[in-house]
A and B are shown apart, each in its own frame.
Chain A
Amino acid sequence: MRFLLLLALLLSCSADRDTRERLEFWALGREGEVVAEMIPEFERRNPGIDVVVQQIPWSAAHEKLLTAYVGESTPDIAQMGNTWIPEFHAMRALEELPPAVVDRSDYFPGIWETNVIDGKLYGIPWYVDTRVLFYRSDILAAAGFPRAPRTWDEWRQAMARIAERRLSHFPILLPTNEFEQVEVLAMTNGSTLLNADRTRGAFRQPPFAEAFAFYVGLFRSGFAPAVSNAEIANIYQQFAAGDFAMWITGPWNVGECKRRLPPEIQGKWATAPLPARDAGAPTGVSMAGGSSLILFRGTRHRAAAEALIRFLSEPAQQVRFFELTGDLPARRSAWNAPALVGDPYFPAFRAQLERVQPLPKVPEWEQIATAIFDRGEAAARGVTSVPVALAQLDAKADTLLEKRRWMLSRRPSSAASRHLLPASGEKDAGAASAPLSRLRERVARSAG
Chain B
Amino acid sequence: MRAESRAGLLFVAPALLLILVFFFVPVIAGFALSLTDFDLYTIGDPHNLRFLALRNYGELLGSDIFWTAFINTLYFALVGGPLTVAVSLGAALLVNAKLTRWKSLFRTVYFAPVVTTLVAVAIVFKYLYHPRFGILNRALGAVGIPGIDWLGNPKVAMLAIILLAVWRGFGYTMIIFIAGLQNIPDELYEAARIDGAGAWRQFRHITVPMLGPTFLFVGVVVAIGQMQIFAEPYVMTRGGPLNKTLSLVMLMYEQGFKFWRMGYAAAVAFILFLLIGGATLLQMRLQEKR
Contacts and interface: CB of A to CB of B under 8 A. Distances in A.
B45 A363 contact: no
A128 to B, nearest CB: 24
A301 interface: no
Interface in A329-374: 363, 366-367
Interface string B120-133: 00000000000000
Interface centre among B43, B154, B242 (most CB of A within 10 A): B43
Contact of A435 (B39, B43, B258): B43
A313 B26 CA distance: 47
Interface string A432-448: 00011001100100000
Interface residues of A, number: 28
A90 B44 CA distance: 6
Contact of B44 (A91, A228, A367, A399): A91
Given A230-B240, A230-B241, A367-B259, A443 B37 contact: no
Interface stretch (A63-71, A102-110, A115-123, A194-202): A63-71
A4 B47 CA distance: 61
B59 A399 contact: yes
Contact of A403 (B41, B240, B258): B41
A87 interface: yes
B260 A421 contact: no
Q: Is chain A's binding surface mostly helix, strand, loop or mixed?
A: helix
A92 interface: yes
Contacts of B241: 230
Instruction: Please tell me the size bucket of the interface on B.
Output: 20 to 34
A409 B43 CA distance: 19
A63 B152 contact: no
B46 interface: yes
A87 B44 CA distance: 10
Contacts of B59: 399
B201 interface: no
Interface in B235-255: 238, 240-242
Given A87-B40, A230-B154, A399-B59, A92 B257 contact: no
Contact of B258 (A63, A69, A92, A407): A63
Interface of A: 59, 62-63, 66-67, 69-70, 87, 90-92, 228, 230, 233, 363, 366-367, 399, 403, 406-407, 421-422, 435-436, 439-440, 443
Interface of B: 37, 39-41, 43-48, 50, 59, 149, 152, 154, 238, 240-242, 257-260
Given A66-B260, A92-B45, A363-B259, 20 more contacts: A59-B238, A66-B257, A87-B40, A87-B260, A90-B41, A91-B44, A228-B242, A230-B152, A230-B242, A363-B40, A366-B259, A367-B259, A403-B39, A403-B41, A403-B48, A439-B44, A439-B45, A443-B45, A443-B46, A443-B47
9 contacts: A62-B258, A63-B258, A70-B43, A92-B43, A92-B44, A233-B149, A399-B59, A403-B39, A407-B41
